[in-house]
Amino acid sequence: MRRSIIVLGITGVLVAGFTGPMGAAPQVQIGAAPQVQKVTIIMTENRFEPKAITLQAGMPVELTLVNQGTKEHDLSVYPAPPSAPKDWDEYVTQHSYFENTGEIGVDFPGQGAVAGTRVFEIELEKGKSAILGFTPARTGVFEMGSHIPGQYEAGMKGSFVVK
């Protein structure tokens, strides 16, 4: 129940961020398109492939998530805690890498898209995918994990490095 409430709350924020002030459409800049870093992460039972990704700060990213598993999976990115928190949802919500990153667009092919300035996890049902568009600003080594019960503990985690 708690997870559903958190996800619905964030979805509301994402939708509000997508429409902009008073429902205005997002601004589009005309000019040379910046170089985009394209990375794909495949999600299967209890693992990400690749297990580590490295991105360049300040350069736009198109991160494609594909759930090829038989269950729902999610992706969260955050500074690794010194020990496992009592409540992962609370920790990830408070420490998301994507906090204050600027606008983050999430396209769910065949389902729709949302955008906002604060995302803490992307959940995908089996067979579904999502494409995140963002520009990383904070450098360092972060952890990515799936915190659906039992998945992280079974090894569904990896490194998210921004140089």
Q: Which own/partner pairs from 127-131 qualify as long-range (CB within 8 Å, at least 24 positions apart)?
A: 127/67, 127/68, 128/67, 129/64, 129/65, 129/66, 129/67, 130/64, 130/65, 130/106, 131/62, 131/63, 131/64, 131/65, 131/106, 131/107
pTM score, whole prediction: 0.76
Fold of 2-22+36-162: Immunoglobulin-like (2.60.40)
pLDDT tens digit string along 78-113? 999 988 899 988 998 899 998 877 888 888 888 888
* Segments making up each domain of the chain, as ranges: 2-22+36-162
